[in-house]
Structure formats: structure tokens, C-alpha cells
A and B are shown apart, each in its own frame.
Chain A
Amino acid sequence: MILYIVKRLVLSVPLLVGIATATFFVLHLAPGDPMDMYLEPRFQREMDPEVIEAIRTRFGLDEPIPVRYGKWIRNLATGDLGTSFRYRRPVADLMWERVPYTLQLTVLALLFDALFGISLGILAAVKQYTKLDKVVTLGSLVVYSVPGFWLALMLVLVFSVELGWFPTSQTRSLDYELLSFWGQVADRLWHLVLPVFVLSVASAAGTARYMRNKLLDVLSEEYVLAARARGLRERVVILKHALRNALIPIITIYGMALPFLLGGAVLIENVFAWPGMGTLAVEAVRGRDYPVILATTMLSAVLVVVGNLMADITYAAVDPRVSYEGKVKA
């Protein structure tokens, strides 16, 4: 097992180098110059060319692209992500500040997603063809189809603007520093309600549909029939015999949710002015902040690779039919 993990990790190194190279060159092939964001072109024309050259040298923009690539890769290998053009601070520091905010949203969203998605899915499957099942299947399809960021806007409109129950945006109130410890905790939670709800509701709908289908697949298997024939109670049949097998593909999905943890809330963060990784990435793209764009892309690529590995490992761990070589035994 450990050998398998090590082998997969070693194999993913060339993959990540490939991704890094592709990202770097695509980014530098793009038209436009980061200098234009730093200084408007009309000012650049009036300025002393030497000053502009000096700025270029400082940001390393004066060197030919292959040299920049070599430097960037070398720094990346030692864990140095470079300095942001826009904030003029190390990219790693910037990301380190933003990550906790995104994690608050996404971890909570995943928890609610699993809790409600799986239980609704089970309920719908057990009560197949009843009204409840129809409401869950159709309702989840509708919810799943509504764009999350629009739902967020509408919820803000109703619950924040009209009713004033929740804040419209930000992570904390203006008087946050004046509150007691528990007041601060409550304030944070109060700001989390809407974004977490929006994030979890759509993915819970997807999970419910998936869970329902998987459980129905399993319920038509012969061993379920056998369990029923032995006179086991329906509750035991479903929870002990069927559910365990139906959960296997669901667990795999959560293994692959790793990249979602950091990159899944781009639009929602934008609606709620939430200072997370998503907002950082969008700002970087808008402002041609190349080091930040490269760093966020690399981070998410690493997460995808590790997430896939985790999914495979959990799959092998929960399903004894799967061996670590990835082949299904007969």
C-alpha cells in the first residue's frame, strides 16, 4: 500500500512539471504587459525610460521568457512562489492569509452537503415512487440547476436587504473588535450563514441524486434479496447491507472534493466580498498579477492530483474487491 502511494506520488511529479510549464508559457503568450497594470501606458510614455527599465528589472520583466521560466521553476522547486506585482509581498504570505477564510466556507459546506445530501438520498431511495421521492428528485434537480451566485444574490436581497436578518457581505461586523470572545464567535457564524448555505445547497442536491441512484442500484442486487429472504428487518437490510456498498462511490467523490476546498467558492466569495482564495485569484487575473496566477493554478493542480490519489486510496480501502494495483478482482 505504501509502495503504491509512493509510486503514484513519484509519477505525479512529471505531471506537475508539465502543468507548471504549460501554465507558464500560456500565460506569457497572452497579449498585454503586466507593466500596463502597474502604470498606465499614457504615464509610461511620459516617464523617463530609465525609470521604467528599473521597474522592469525589479520585477524581473526585463529578462527573456526562457530565462524567467528557468528561474521560476527553480524557485518553485525550493518552495519560493515569488512576489506579487500588485501587493508587492511574497505570494506565499498572501495565500496563507486567504486560505483560512476559504476553508471556513468550504469545509462547513462539505459537512452540510454530506449530512443532508446523503440522508435525503437514502430517504428518497427507500421510499422510491412515493411523493417524498418525487419531491426530492425533482426538487434537487431544480436546486442543482440554479446558479449558486444568483441564488446568493437573491438570498442577500431577501434576507439581508429586505428582512435584515443576515449581513450582506464581509466576514465580520465593523464593531467586531469591541465584542466579547463569544460575541466574536457569534458574529463570525452570523456572517457565515448565507454563503455556507448557498455553497452547500447545490452540492447537497447533487449528492442526494447520486446517493439515491447508487442505493437503488445496490437494492436491486441479489445479496439484498438474500438478506430480505433471511427475514432481516428492512432497517437492517438497508443500513447494514445495502448502504455500505452504496456509500463506496460517494466516498470517492469526497476524496475528489479536495480542490473544491480551495477553489470551489470563487463566485460565492465574490458575491459576499469574502477575502478568500477565489477573490485572490480573480483579482490576480484582472490585474495580470502573474506570480499570483501561477501560484494559485499550481496549488489547485497539486490539490487535484493529491485529491485523485486520495480518492483511489479510499476506494481501495473501503472496497475489498479493489486491489492497490487498481485492478478489480473477479
Chain B
Amino acid sequence: MSQILSGGEPFLYRGESGVGVLLVHGWTSSPQEMRDLGKHLAGQGHTVLGLRLPGHGTRPADLNRLLWRDWLAAVEDGYHFLENASEKVVAMGLSLGGALALLLAASLPVAGVVAMATPYELPTQPRLRWLRHLLFPMRPLGNLLRFMPKPTVNDYKDPQAYEDHLSYDVFPVQSVPEVGGLLELLRQQLPGMRAPLLLLHAVEDRGVSPDHARSIYARVGSTEKELVWIEDSGHVITVEPSRRRVYDLAAEFVDRELERAP
């Protein structure tokens, strides 16, 4: 039996444009939610790597063991895979992956960042908030309650996309403070960030409200920054009815980076 769930494998496509695009998926999910975007960008001639974050695409219990530094190490790996195969590396991420893409740009020479549906702080989703209040003061409680079911209500516009989405159906409880810790680091690093940034966020995102995108936009140090609102989509904007628009915006961003002198 393979360790990685079928459909949750990372992917690598080779192009000759000179740009390497690193795609980073979100918390509790897998490279699957980035694959169609990856194919689109590969179709434009770019080298594309959709990495798998540690603890993802395997078993929910794996996430309870991990620290946020493990995820950061994995996006560094992604950068290093691409740096030798391309002249410029653009990092793109969804949700937690967006935060990781931003943090990567704070430590390595990333040419640009596309951050999609990215949180600025731990979302105020009721269950997550409850877990946070429970866990930050009393972390050992995570040993008693290892998983929390995800809410059955969701913000998907496309029910099929929800059905097809490969993601753990529980929140690994001990991983929640790790998300919080990573976002704390993000808030520290944002003002020092200089890489060009494109923020994409669904107006109707119920997982990570549009306020998060506004906060990132306001506090990021990059002078070249743009925030584009996506209609007709829930949180996972890469698989929703308006995904084509997301793919086009991401591809245009890469083209602009390509034209820029190195």
C-alpha cells in the first residue's frame, strides 16, 4: 500500500519558458486542489511543481505530529527543486499554502507571489476558534481530543468540486496551534516582504473571510501589489466555477514576471 492517497500525489511538469512555478496546497488538503491550475500553467510553457506538504495526503493523525517548521522546510525544498531548472521561481499557494508562499518569499529570492484565499490570522470559524481557545492555554488537551469533525456546511458553489476535493474530513486538533504559529510568523515577516504580490480572494469565502486579504494587502511591504476579488466561488478558488479566471490571472502574473528584467 502506498503512503500517499490516490490523487494526492505531488506533480512536476517541465516547460521551457524559464519560469518555475511552485504550487502549495492548503491545510488538511493535498496537491490535488492545485493540479488543474498546474496543468494550465504548464500549458503556458512553465515548469510547474505542485508539492505535497508533510502530513498531508496521507492520514490525519500524521498532521498531529508536525510543526509549522516542517511545512516551511517543504516549501524551501520546492524552491530548491525549481531554482536549478528555471531562471525565476514564482510561488503560488492556496490558504495555508498562500501563507507559506509569502513566507518563502521572505527568506529566498522568489520573483513573485500569488496568494489565494490566504489567512492573515487563525480564521474565526467557530470550531477553529473554539479549538484555539482550548488549546493555546492547555495544549496537552490535544492528547485527549485528537480530531474534530469538520463542519458539514460548506461554502462551495460547485457541489461536484466539493465531492471531488481530496481533503481530511477532520481537523487534527494539535495542528491548529501550528497554523496559528505559522500565521504569527507571517504577520511578523509581511512588512519586510518586497516580492511583487497578487492576492486572489473569493468575495463569498466563508472559511477565510475577505478581511484577511485586506489585512495582508494593507501590511505587506511589497510596493507592487494587487488584490483581485473572485466572484462565484467559495474558499477553494482553484476548483470552483470561476477557476478559469483564477488560472488566467495567475498566468498573466507569471507573464508579467517573465517580461521583467532578471
User: Do these two chains really belong together in a complex?
Assistant: no
Measuring CB to CB, which residues of chain A are less than 8 angstroms from any residue of chain B? none
Measuring CB to CB, which residues of chain B are less than 8 angstroms from any residue of chain A? none
